[in-house]
Amino acid sequence: MRSQQRITRLAAPLSAIGALLLWFAPQALAGDSAPDWLRAAAQQRTPDYDKDTVAVILLDETQTTVQDNGEIDTRHRGAIRLLRPEARKDYSSIDVPFDKDTKVSYLKAWTIEANGKELSVGDKDVIEHGYTDAEEYTDVRARYLQFPEANPGNVVGFEFVQRQRPYVFEDSWWFQDEVPVTTARFILQLPKGWEFTTDWFNYPEQKPQISGNQYTWEVQNLPAVEIEPDMPPWRSLAGWVGVKYFPSDPALRAKSSGSWKDVGLWYAGLTQSSRNASPEIKQKVAELTSGIPDMLDKIRALTEYMQRSIRYYAIEIGIGGYQPHPAGEVFAHQYGDCKDKATLLGSMLAQLGVETYYVLIDTDRGFVHEKYPSVAFDHAILAIRLPDGVPDTNLYAVVHDEKLGRLLIFDPTNERVPLGYLPWYLQQSYGLLVAPDGGELVSMPLLPPATNRLLRTAKFNLTPAGDLTGEVQEIAWGGPAAQQREEFLTAQPSKRAEIFDRFLSRSLNSFTLTGATLGNLEQFERTLTLDFKFVSPGYANAAGDLLFVRPRVVGDTSAGMLRLFAEQKPRKYPVEFEEATRQDDVFDINLPAGYAVDGLPPPVQSDCEYAKYSSEMKVADGVLHYKRTFEVRDVIVPTEKLAEMRSFLEHVAADEQSAVVLRRAGP
């Protein structure tokens, strides 16, 4: 599960091929002629890439001209050689967004076929469309062009021009992609007296070529960011540059952010009156908290109301991509996006005398960098300042701030993660805490494994023929409970048995589900329980007087995690787990009459920096008792530690697949 609620901003990259901003409109081209820059790019020899490479970006050029009044004229050029049919998925068209503050004055695209024939599309071929979907309305629209004959062997190119009035003077130049890039270039033209800074990420800093007030950076022969299973978000690994502009005019200086404090002050000013409570809000708070003496229970009543009763829907027009709607409007309409829900909850909690603060955060780890203050967040949540006397014993998402004290981090948008927990995609990341005196970058906690736990107990009966019947109970809380609830609640009730079937099929070759029930499915603050029964014919393998039984009957195994290392070539990037977790299995297997255990495997203890594992088996009174614990301690395994992690998982997987030998007694 992953939150899709976003703070919409045009500062985000437009497409997989790079950044957006550029300058003067080019002269119109006659007929189907391609421009010289595209012809030159198409004549480049393409190196011999891996057979899985679908395309190569021959040129990605961004030119940015900042005007004295703070407007930005932009031009972007791109040329891509298509190598495989799969390239059509991402490189068959260009989509350029615009709104009332960003205009598109020119858009054209071309194709140079392998035989040299040139084709073009322009204004008459443009299709305009909106970005509205079932959960969002925005005034951002886009101009769309389909490349003609976007086939393997051909080169496609595009050029578009924009004029933008930005809310903040910052930009991002993304020069690395999921396919190789031959040449990426960024050209910056500033007015006299303006200054700029650059911060380089995932790539060594390059110095610009300088000509007057024009600065040019160029990088060449960039490898693709290859997609690997369970890697961090690829954009957190790709090379990019953060650019900030600082005007000489003091009236424009407020649009520049040189520190996290500046960003926080900007957002605090933008939202200073948003949380004013209407009479209806005050009445609703009194209604929800009436008769509740405990302050923490009052807070919980309001957070549950926000999660369950205020529907997610975004209306983002103009600066509404950043600025929340007033709390009174959100309450009156009973819907809002992430920042709207945080605003209304903050307003309601204020009626209890509880202070709250916005926390701006990104739902992808690694997107926010401590040394690069930026407004480029995609989600808004809330920090609740716990009053003195309110215990935090079972509130796991608490951070301690030197000035503000105990802050409980809470996501009002995620309806399945109760107060005290934090969704996995917000853990071990950075969030900008917005206080009245400015912003402060805060580390989000990584919840300990015991808070994200799955306890599975089971009783099984094994027959002399090797058939197995079983009753299993699972108790889940924290992350595992939220994920399982997501799966069951998004399925039709008539289809939920199929979820149990899919789970069992990962462990059993043959089985029949004979019963299943769910407990506390919609009581998100309580543990989730799953009870199911099944029959598995021929579970134990027979060989003469012997039966071979795998004690770990059901459960996801480390063999699945080992597939992360099963590629033909070594991994290049870290492994990212969702969260720290603990899983415990406690199984009892009633052995068939007339059979005895012919020796037990020894207990296993395995440990590495990122996880630990233990298992043991005992036999008493004809029952095989099996216990197993698997714990993930950290979520990022760096590349240099992958060999250690793989060795650990191989050891664990071997133990999970180990069998106990039963021998038939007597003649």
Answer whether residue 29 shows pLDDT above 60.
no
Answer whether residue 28 shows pLDDT above 60.
no
What is the per-residue pLDDT for 167? Answer: 82
What is the per-residue pLDDT for 135? Answer: 67
CA distances for 189 relative to 47, 64, 104, 292, angstroms: 33, 6, 19, 61
478, 458 in Cβ contact below 8 A? no
Task: Tell the residue number behind the tokens 């399945």, with chain if given.
Answer: 416
Q: What is the dihedral of CA 22, 25, 26, 31, to 10 degrees?
A: 120
Among 21-35, 352-366, 379-393, where is mean pLDDT lowest? Answer: 21-35
Element (H, E) at 268: helix 260-270
Question: CB within 8 A of 506, min separation 6: which ones?
Answer: 556, 557, 560
Domain boundaries, the chain: 36-253, 270-447, 450-664
Task: Tell the residue number behind the tokens 């790709």, with chain if given.
Answer: 238
Average pLDDT, the chain: 90
What is the per-residue pLDDT for 603? Answer: 94
525, 418 in Cβ contact below 8 A? yes
Question: CB within 8 A of 43, min separation 6: which ones?
Answer: none
Calculate mean pLDDT across residues 470-479.
Answer: 96
Can you give the length of the chain in residues? 667
Residues 590 and 34: their CA atoms lie apart, in Å, by 77
What is the per-residue pLDDT for 248? Answer: 86
DSSP per-residue letters across 219-247: EEEEPP----TTPPPGGGTS-EEEEEEE-
Percent of the chain predicted with pLDDT > 70: 93
Higher-pLDDT residue of 8, 554: 554
Domain at 36-253: CATH code: 2.60.40.3140
Cα angle 389-393-398, degrees, rounded to a multiple of 5: 85
pLDDT digits (tens, 9 = 90+) for 615-642: 999 999 999 999 999 999 999 999 999 9
95, 17 in Cβ contact below 8 A? no
Amino acid type, 152: P
213, 190 in Cβ contact below 8 A? yes
Q: Are strands 512-519 and 528-536 parallel, antiparallel or unpaired?
A: antiparallel
What beta strand segments (E) does 213-343 contain? 214-222, 240-246, 311-312, 314-316, 335-336
Answer whether residue 337 shows pLDDT above 80.
yes
Which residues are paired to 536 by β-bridges? 468
Question: Is pTM beyond 0.85 here?
Answer: yes
Among 178-187, 210-219, 253-262, 640-649, where is mean pLDDT lowest? Answer: 253-262
pLDDT digits (tens, 9 = 90+) for 212-244: 999 999 999 999 999 888 999 998 999 999 999
Pick from 187, 219, 238, 231: which is nearest to 73 by CA?
187
What is the per-residue pLDDT for 315? Answer: 78
What is the per-residue pLDDT for 223? Answer: 95
What is the per-residue pLDDT for 335? Answer: 94
What beta strand segments (E) does 539-637 contain? 541-543, 546-549, 575-576, 581-590, 595-597, 604-607, 611-620, 623-632, 636-637
Task: Measure CA 486 to chain center.
Answer: 16
Answer whether residue 7 shows pLDDT above 70.
no
Domain at 270-447: CATH code: 3.10.620.30
pLDDT digits (tens, 9 = 90+) for 269-326: 999 899 999 999 999 999 999 999 999 999 999 999 999 999 998 877 767 678 899 9
189, 214 in Cβ contact below 8 A? yes
Query: Rg for the chain (alpha carbons), in Å?
Result: 29
Pick from 627, 663, 633, 664: which is nearest to 648 by CA?
633
What is the per-residue pLDDT for 136? Answer: 72
What is the per-residue pLDDT for 11? Answer: 31
Question: CB within 8 A of 217, min separation 6: which ones?
Answer: 173, 185, 186, 198, 206, 208, 209, 241
Residues 180 and 55: their CA atoms lie apart, in Å, by 7
Residues 354 and 357: their CA atoms lie apart, in Å, by 10
Q: Are both 36-253 and 270-447 of the same fold? A: no
Residues 208 and 205: their CA atoms lie apart, in Å, by 10
Answer whether residue 13 shows pLDDT above 60.
no
221, 177 in Cβ contact below 8 A? no
- Tell me the fold of 450-664: Jelly Rolls (2.60.120)
Percent of the chain predicted with pLDDT > 90: 76
Return the half-sphere exposure (C-beta side, CA atoms, 13 A cut-off) of residue 632: 23
Higher-pLDDT residue of 141, 550: 550
Pick from 326, 147, 173: which is nearest to 240 by CA?
173
Question: CB within 8 A of 565, min separation 6: which ones?
Answer: 571, 642, 646, 649
Calculate mean pLDDT across residues 69-98.
Answer: 93
Token digits of residue 449: 């494994």
Sheet holding 546-549, edge to edge: 541-543, 546-549, 660-664, 595-597
Residues 37 and 28: their CA atoms lie apart, in Å, by 14
Among 99-103, 130-134, 173-177, where is mean pLDDT lowest? Answer: 130-134
572, 238 in Cβ contact below 8 A? no
Answer whether residue 10 shows pLDDT above 70.
no
340, 330 in Cβ contact below 8 A? yes
Residues 580 and 515: their CA atoms lie apart, in Å, by 31
Measured N-to-C along each axis, helices 338-350 and 295-309 cross at an angle, to the nearest 10 degrees, of: 150
Answer whether residue 513 shows pLDDT above 50.
yes
431, 477 in Cβ contact below 8 A? no
Residues 136 and 138: their CA atoms lie apart, in Å, by 7
